[in-house]
Amino acid sequence: MKVICKNISMGYTTQNGPIEALKDVNFEVGEQEFICVLGPSGCGKTTLLKIIAGLLKPTDGQVIYKGEKSTNPLNSVVFQEHGIFPWLNVIDNVSFGLEMRGIKKEERYEISRKFIRKFGLARFEKNYPHELSVGMKQRVGLARAFVNGPEILLMDEPFAALDAQTKLILQEELLRIWKEHKKSVIYITHDIEEAILLGDRVIVMTQRPGRVKKDVPINLGRPRSIETENSEEFTSLKIDIWNLIKEEVYISIGA
Amino acid sequence: MRLSSRAESFFVLISPTIVIIFWEIVVRIGYVEPLFFPPPTLVLATLIELVKTGELQPHVFISLKRIFFGFLLGVIPGLILGLIMGWSRSVRIFFDPLISATYPIPKIALLPLIMLIFGIGEMSKIVLIAIGCFFVVLINSMAGVMSINKIYFEVAENYGASKYQIFKKIVLTGSLPMIFTGLRLALGLSLILVVAAEMVSANQGLGAMIWKAWETLRTENLYVGIIIIAFLGLLSTSILKRVERKLMPWGRT
């Protein structure tokens, strides 16, 4: 299934007057494509993701899901840090989407266990989130999205709160499992290296109001791993993208 | 210094035991007027006596009955309205002026009015307790829902939860810690209100028993009443804690 963002604009009013968060955002996500949306903080990335997820209505423009009709949910979001329910144990968190669709307990547990194993959570099935590390919690969030079997996965800086090492491990895990299931992904991040490591394309956003500054194809072979980050191509991409985003960051920090 | 849990459960008994022994001694040697502070052994003997003659049980039973019905009558609507007010901004804005204006009234001040309306029988006591419970449970469950991180509602919506599922899985479950805080406060308040109401207008019940003991200067009966009330408070709180642990295996966060 393809996702097309067409002329998306978003504004809202705050106590300090109206804010224009997004302006005329246009891009497409092809089937089985991994897209990273990269931008300085406060550029409306999360707002964009929520619009694509259908959680927010844009003031203008539309999100079009194009492709064969299926019974799968259109999208599932992997939220930032606090996205998993503290009052559900790991397996009930992971099978949440299936439960909401009325799938019987035995069946949804069976489907969930496959992903619980893939994400290395088998020993923690009955544990509650407060007993898990931050990395483990994000694994639960990822597993919950994959189990739901959506047409497209939407990820909102899922690894932003992790330490560097855990982040690397989870990035590799995500790539491995994504390759197995070949889903389309829109991945929001402010981390340039992460965007290059994960994405088929990196969409660089401007400072607020967020627009697409440039759509950068990442022609690095797969599978990618930490070694990829040492290659010359990676470094030159990193510099190119840094040059694109640098002035936006300057504006955002008021320099 | 850290104690093992067994040593700890023994340790907590030390200070009350010392106080009781000290009390007994100072009364026995005549330093303290036994009319005000009857010796603990006498209070204990009176307690046993009152149980044996069957005098105590009806008092306890009728107070418990009033608390039980008043509690239920207040908690159920308080919980429902509190959850809905926490969930829906418009319902909250609609009801908030009424709640804010009536909540600070000390509920005991309403007793005469309630007796005027419901008579001096059982109903007025039950209604008084119900009103008290209603407010604390309402306020706490509303605060409970409002303290739920907004992200959980977004997750539920994104994963296809219906309104009913959101209510059950997010609103109700997410506010359980605060609901239990409200229930605990409501239980404590029920005990206060039942005793107050019974002191004013009842022939039976723990409040009436204490009042009668005061009128006849039978201080040891008065102490028995106080001890039973304290015990009921402890017992109900510990039962509630058990229910809480059962319903909230993820613990308080």
What distance in Å separates the CA atoms of residue A199 and residue A180, rounded to the nearest whole number? 16
Evaluate whether residue B51 is within a structural domain: no
- Contacts B166 to A, Cβ<8 Å: none
Same domain, yes or no, for A143 and A241?
Answer: no
Same domain, yes or no, for A180 and A61?
Answer: yes
Domain count, chain A: 2
Evaluate whether residue A90 is within a structural domain: yes
- Given strand A2-14, what is the order of strands in its sheet? A17-29, A2-14, A60-66
Same domain, yes or no, for B106 and B203?
Answer: yes
Is B158–A54 a contact, with Cβ atoms under 8 angstroms apart?
yes
Domain count, chain B: 2
Is B154–A89 a contact, with Cβ atoms under 8 angstroms apart?
no
Same domain, yes or no, for B186 and B98?
Answer: yes
Nearest neighbour of A148 by CB, restricted to B149, B159, B165: B159
Same domain, yes or no, for B136 and B30?
Answer: no
Domain range for B64 is: 57-247
Structure tokens at B140: 């706490």
- Neighbouring residues of A209: CB distance < 8 A, sequence distance ≥ 6: A9, A20, A21, A22, A23, A44
Q: What is the DSSP string of A30-44?
A: -TT-EEEEE--TTSS
Evaluate whether residue A79 is within a structural domain: no
Same domain, yes or no, for A139 and A196?
Answer: no
Through-space distance between the first and last CA atoms of chain A, rounded to whole angstroms: 42
Is B152–A85 a contact, with Cβ atoms under 8 angstroms apart?
yes
Is A97–B159 a contact, with Cβ atoms under 8 angstroms apart?
yes
More confident residue, B47 or A226: B47
User: At residue A248, does pLDDT exceed 90?
Assistant: no
* Closest chain B CA to residue A98: B159
Same domain, yes or no, for B70 and B20?
Answer: no
The pLDDT of residue B253 is 47
Same domain, yes or no, for B103 and B219?
Answer: yes
What distance in Å separates the CA atoms of residue B212 and residue B159, rounded to the nearest whole number? 62
For chain A, the C-alpha Rg in angstroms (whole number) is 18
Same domain, yes or no, for A134 and A222?
Answer: no
Is A87–B176 a contact, with Cβ atoms under 8 angstroms apart?
yes
Same domain, yes or no, for A38 and A16?
Answer: yes
Same domain, yes or no, for B9 and B86?
Answer: no
Across A69-73, A184-188, B180-184, least confident range: A69-73
74-103 of A, contacting B, C-beta below 8 A: 75-77, 79-80, 82-89, 96-97, 100-101
pLDDT tens digit sequence for A151-168: 999 999 999 989 999 999
The pLDDT of residue A255 is 63
Mutate: best of A55, A72, A75, A87, partner B, most B CBs <10 A: A87
The pLDDT of residue B1 is 60
Same domain, yes or no, for A170 and A245?
Answer: yes
Same domain, yes or no, for A141 and A163?
Answer: no
A47 touches chain B (CB under 8 A): no
For chain B, residues with pLDDT lower than 50 are 253
Is A129–B250 a contact, with Cβ atoms under 8 angstroms apart?
yes
* Closest chain A CA to residue B162: A100
Evaluate whether residue B253 is within a structural domain: no
Nearest neighbour of B250 by CB, restricted to A53, A100, A128: A128
Domain range for A136 is: 85-149
CA distances from B122 to A254, B14, B42, B115, B225 (A): 70, 41, 33, 10, 20
CA distance B84 to chain A (A): 20
A123 touches chain B (CB under 8 A): no
Same domain, yes or no, for B15 and B64?
Answer: no
Pick from A124, A149, A174: which residue ends a domain? A149
Is A85–B157 a contact, with Cβ atoms under 8 angstroms apart?
no
Same domain, yes or no, for A130 and A181?
Answer: no
Same domain, yes or no, for B119 and B26?
Answer: no
More confident residue, A252 or A35: A35
Q: Which residues of B touch A (CB under 8 A)?
A: 149, 151-152, 154-162, 165, 169-170, 173-174, 176, 248-251, 253
Is B162–A100 a contact, with Cβ atoms under 8 angstroms apart?
yes
> What φ, ψ does residue B192 adopt, rounded to 5°?
-60, -50
Same domain, yes or no, for B128 and B218?
Answer: yes
Evaluate whether residue B252 is within a structural domain: no
A113 touches chain B (CB under 8 A): no
A78 bridge partner residues: A155
CATH code for the domain of B98: 1.10.3720.10
A71 touches chain B (CB under 8 A): no
Nearest neighbour of B157 by CB, restricted to A55, A89, A130: A55
Largest alpha-carbon pair distance within chain A? 57
Same domain, yes or no, for A66 and A43?
Answer: yes
A37 bridge partner residues: A188, A203
pLDDT tens digit sequence for B183-193: 999 999 999 99
Q: Measured in whole angstroms, how far is the alpha carbon of residue A195 from the centre of its chain?
A: 10
Burial A107-142 (b: 16+ CB within 10 A, else e): ebbebbbebbebbebeebbebbbeebeebbbbbbbb
What distance in Å separates the CA atoms of residue B84 and residue B92, rounded to the nearest whole number? 8
Evaluate whether residue B48 is within a structural domain: no
pLDDT tens digit sequence for A16-69: 888 899 999 999 999 999 999 999 888 889 999 999 999 999 999 999 998 888
Q: What is the value of pTM for the model shown?
A: 0.88
What distance in Å separates the CA atoms of residue B69 and residue A173, rounded to the nearest whole number? 57
- Neighbouring residues of A242: CB distance < 8 A, sequence distance ≥ 6: A192
* Mean pLDDT score across all residues of chain A: 92
A13 bridge partner residues: A18
Same domain, yes or no, for A170 and A236?
Answer: yes
Is A100–B165 a contact, with Cβ atoms under 8 angstroms apart?
yes
The pLDDT of residue A128 is 95
Same domain, yes or no, for A239 and A156?
Answer: yes
Positive or negative torsion for Cα A44, A48, A54, A60: positive
Query: Is it true that the peptide bond before B177 is cis, omega within 30 degrees of 0?
Result: no
Evaluate whether residue A247 is within a structural domain: yes
pLDDT tens digit sequence for A83-113: 899 999 999 999 999 999 999 999 999 999 9
Is A54–B155 a contact, with Cβ atoms under 8 angstroms apart?
no
Evaluate whether residue B42 is within a structural domain: no
What distance in Å separates the CA atoms of residue B147 and residue B137, rounded to the nearest whole number? 15
Evaluate whether residue A80 is within a structural domain: no
What distance in Å separates the CA atoms of residue B199 and residue A181, rounded to the nearest whole number? 72
Evaluate whether residue A226 is within a structural domain: yes
Same domain, yes or no, for B29 and B133?
Answer: no
CATH code for the domain of A47: 3.40.50.300
Q: Which of A97, A62, A78 is nearest to A154 (CA)?
A: A78
Is A87–B161 a contact, with Cβ atoms under 8 angstroms apart?
no
Same domain, yes or no, for B19 and B139?
Answer: no
Same domain, yes or no, for B99 and B10?
Answer: no
Answer yes or no: are the C-beta atoms of A95 and A147 closer than 8 Å.
Answer: yes
- Contacts A83 to B, Cβ<8 Å: 151, 155
Evaluate whether residue B43 is within a structural domain: no
